[in-house]
Amino acid sequence: MTSRLRAGHLAGSLIATLAFVGGAAQADVVLAPELAGVYAAGKGVTGEFLKVSDTWHDSSVLWNEDTHSFGSGVAIGTFSWGSGLWGLADWRTAYGSPAPGMIESSWTGRASPISYADAEYNALYGPTWGEAAMAPLFAPNGPSAGENNWASRFAGYIRITEAGTYNFGVLHDDGFFFTLGGASGTLSLENDFLNPRERLGFGSNLQLGVGLYSFELGAYDRIEAGVVELSWSRGGGKWSVVPIENLIRPDEVMPVPEPSTWALMIGGLLAVGSIASRRRNRTDALRG
């Protein structure tokens, strides 16, 4: 059964979409910030990790028994073998409306940076793809002894301090979605169902401006190796994990006055100081 399913998802599950709401572009995608301007450095965003019960048996991901592929047919939860997480539909159930018993344990806290894996990932792929931190969900310090059927969610703002060419890539196993919101629309990237570890970025580079872009990243691992890592590429260069100072929690957004504003403020302070100084001099003169 496992090998048959594997053949099916290798055949047809790689989906990378570049959806641009409000206009299509083939070359670099120009996206203005959702919040333009200069903002103070971030301290990372919140990560919500869920351990789904290995015996949860209500997957709504579709499986086509005739074509041996995902995305059509009947819900996998109706098959005797259909326990655990199989795709983004199950991720949404876990975070949106989990039935009692679906979520075995959870961990929520500051994620810094977004680069988490399970032990099997680090053992198998750490040497070639780079090690990631153990997801805080897992023992010995976390609440879950099991490292399969786990999911994660991160959301907040990505802070851009230099306008230019960017791309974002998500290293994942098994699947993920990523959205990036700007002033005029939202870009999205996803890889649904079951996939071997891979990093997937937007098909076009992005031209970004100085400011904040909202984002959401959701990921899940069904069995074996599991990883989620958010990287960026700047100016067409190599991938590197997005630093925590570029990840801002919505309740920690802090605008920094721009140089022109500073100039006005300092000019104003100098003027006030000069008036006060003249007044003091005149008072002194009257006294003298």
Contacts with Ca ion by CB under 5 A lie at 118, 147-148, 173-174, 221, 224-226
Which residue's CB is nearer to Ca ion, number 174 or number 192?
Answer: 174
Which residue's CB is nearer to Ca ion, number 89 or number 219?
Answer: 219
* Residue closest to Ca ion when measured from CB atoms: 226
The residues with which 109 forms a beta bridge, in sequence order, are: 47
Query: CA 117 → CA 129, 240, 242, 245, distances in Å?
Result: 12, 16, 16, 21
Supply the minimum distance, in Å, between the C-beta of residue 227 and Ca ion.
8
Whole-angstrom distance, CA of residue 100 vs CA of residue 103: 7
Which residue's CB is nearer to Ca ion, number 90 or number 221?
Answer: 221
Supply the minimum distance, in Å, between the C-beta of residue 221 and Ca ion.
4
Supply the minimum distance, in Å, between the C-beta of residue 86 and Ca ion.
11
Contact 121, 171 (CB under 8 A): no
Which residue's CB is nearer to Ca ion, number 8 or number 226?
Answer: 226
Q: Name which of 188, 158, 154, 190 is nearest 172 in CA terms.
A: 190
Supply the minimum distance, in Å, between the C-beta of residue 243 and Ca ion.
27
Which residue's CB is nearer to Ca ion, number 196 or number 203?
Answer: 196
> Which residues, including other chains, have CB under 8 Å from residue 257's CB and lie 6 or more apart?
38, 265
Which DSSP string do the residues of 248-271 spell out, in sequence order? E-GGG--B---HHHHHHHHHHHHH
Contact 228, 176 (CB under 8 A): yes
Supply the minimum distance, in Å, between the C-beta of residue 224 and Ca ion.
4
